[in-house]
Structure 1
Amino acid sequence: MHLYELKWSNTVEREEFFVTAHRTVRRTAGFVAALVTFGALASGGSALAQPLLPPGPAPVPALDLNRYLGVWNQLAAVPQPFNLECARDTRAEYTLDPQGNIAVHNSCTTWSGGLNEIRGTAKVNDPVTGAQLHVSFPGVPSQNMLDGPTNYIVTALAPDYSWALVTDPSRLSGFVLSRSAALDAPTWEQVKSAIAAAGQTPCMYLTSPTTGGRSDIAPLCLR
């Protein structure tokens, strides 16, 4: 979900936002690193001595592309530099294009109240499950090629396609997507279990404010 071209009303607003946002990301990353190290030491070894994770999280057994298309709300995500400018209502809309690929339209409301959006294309890389894709965005360095390695894996999906967990082979990104603007407590527990099953920790994820849903930004492990 790559979103750019934020406009600021003044220089002070811009500087104050980025200072606050980057502090939040650094605190979250440090917290996650501390948890990983503590867990390794508690198990009797050092963090460096632990076995590496598998090549990538497993995709869902089968993705019905027609059911997956449509509008998704981002309710939580692993912080990335490109989504720091999104204040709320981050959404992804997926539709079929004439070539049979997936047209991607990502958008969000910025901290200054404006609209930020970007369009791209997703191609299925895994014909067996249909749940591993390569997403590209024209003009974005290293992501402007239509064909490429998998960078989008649907690792968990509600039976009724009401929510989904998306990550990548490195496990350094992650998005909790929902058809609605909010999830109830039992569903959030399912989401957190899915994150753990994918080899991540819910502490990596920050909640994403949505109109009609949560309004705060906090590590998912603390909700």
Structure 2
Amino acid sequence: MRLPTFIFAIGAALGLSQPSHGAGYRDTSVPIGYVGNLDLNRYLGKWYEIARFPNRFEKNCAGVTAEYGLRDDGKVSVTNTCHKGSPTGPVEVAEGEAEVIAPGKLKVTFVPWLPFAKGDYWVLHVDAAYSYAVVGEPSGKTGWILSRSPELPAAKTEKAVSVLEGMGYDTGKLEWVAQ
């Protein structure tokens, strides 16, 4: 593993388990839900990051993708790709794994040998076609809008934002990701 990739992996792991900005981006007094009937096989594959709440492990990242695959041991492989500075900038890749806790609720780590470095990854919403998804976690320290394509139509973007708002997120803090 190259040093920048290792640093990106460590940052990703710590970012999932530690606050990135104070108390987070979500009013935790508002109930949060998740997709309890998530079809993991349909969720697997490549997703483009459309928007995110700022976090230190994706600082200056553009052209971000996340790819999920089913491993032989039942866990999910996670490959996050970041282009530094622009969608054509230098590539950093972080390899991780996720464990399914319940349909729609996963624990993700990019440093499996650090037991405390597991973060919540909840699928808050996915459309019927599995063409876009909203991801977050109870503390509200992280959150993403993902799409199967590099661009998300306005109506779907509006729906994704409304899902976050309905779960107490301050969507004014979202960063829109250049693809």
TM-score category of the 2 structures, normalised to the smaller one: 0.7 to 0.9
Structure-2 residue corresponding to 1:144 = 114
Superposed displacement of residue 147, structure 1:
9.1
Structure-1 residue corresponding to 2:65 = 91
The letter of the residue matching 2:76 is: I
Structure-2 residue corresponding to 1:118 = 94
TM-score (structure 1 length as normaliser): 0.64
Structure-2 residue corresponding to 1:214 = none
Secondary structure at the aligned position of 2:96 is classed as strand
Q: Is the 8 A contact 1:123 1:135 kept in 2?
A: yes
- Greater relative CO (CA pairs within 8 A, separation 6+): 2
For structure 1, list consecutive stretches of 5 or more residues without a partner in the other structure.
7-28, 37-50, 211-223
1:25-62 deviations in Å (ceiling 9; x for gaps): xxxx7xx99xx9xxxxxxxxxxxxxx9615x6211131
Q: How far apart, in 1, do the equivalents of 2:35 and 2:141 lie?
A: 19
For structure 2, list consecutive stretches of 5 or more residues without a partner in the other structure.
6-20
Q: How far apart, in 2, do the equivalents of 1:146 and 1:123 lie?
A: 14
Superposed displacement of residue 146, structure 1:
8.9
Residue 147 to residue 209, structure 1, CA distance change in 2 (3 Å): closer
Q: How far apart, in 1, do the equivalents of 2:107 and 2:130 lie?
A: 21
Structure-2 residue corresponding to 1:135 = 108
Q: Is the 8 A contact 2:123 2:135 kept in 1?
A: yes
Q: Is the 8 A contact 1:134 1:147 kept in 2?
A: no
Residue 67 to residue 146, structure 1, CA distance change in 2 (3 Å): farther
Greater strand content:
2
1:166-185 deviations in Å (ceiling 9; x for gaps): 00110111010000111112
Structure-1 residue corresponding to 2:81 = 107
Secondary structure at the aligned position of 1:5 is classed as helix
Off by >6 Å, runs of 4+ in structure 1: none
Secondary structure at the aligned position of 1:191 is classed as helix
Could you tell me the percent identity over the aligned residues? 30
Q: How far apart, in 2, do the equivalents of 1:199 and 1:146 lie?
A: 26
Q: Is the 8 A contact 1:125 1:134 kept in 2?
A: yes
Q: How far apart, in 2, do the equivalents of 1:147 and 1:114 lie?
A: 26
Q: How far apart, in 2, do the equivalents of 1:147 and 1:125 lie?
A: 16
Structure-2 residue corresponding to 1:53 = 29
Greater helix content:
1
Match of 1:81 among 19, 38, 56: 56
Q: How far apart, in 1, do the equivalents of 2:117 and 2:90 lie?
A: 32
Superposed displacement of residue 144, structure 1:
3.2
Q: How far apart, in 2, do the equivalents of 1:166 and 1:157 lie?
A: 9
Name the Cα RMSD after superposition: 2.8
Work out whether 1:197 is the aligned partner of 2:166.
yes
The letter of the residue matching 1:120 is: G
The letter of the residue matching 1:67 is: R
Secondary structure at the aligned position of 2:92 is classed as strand
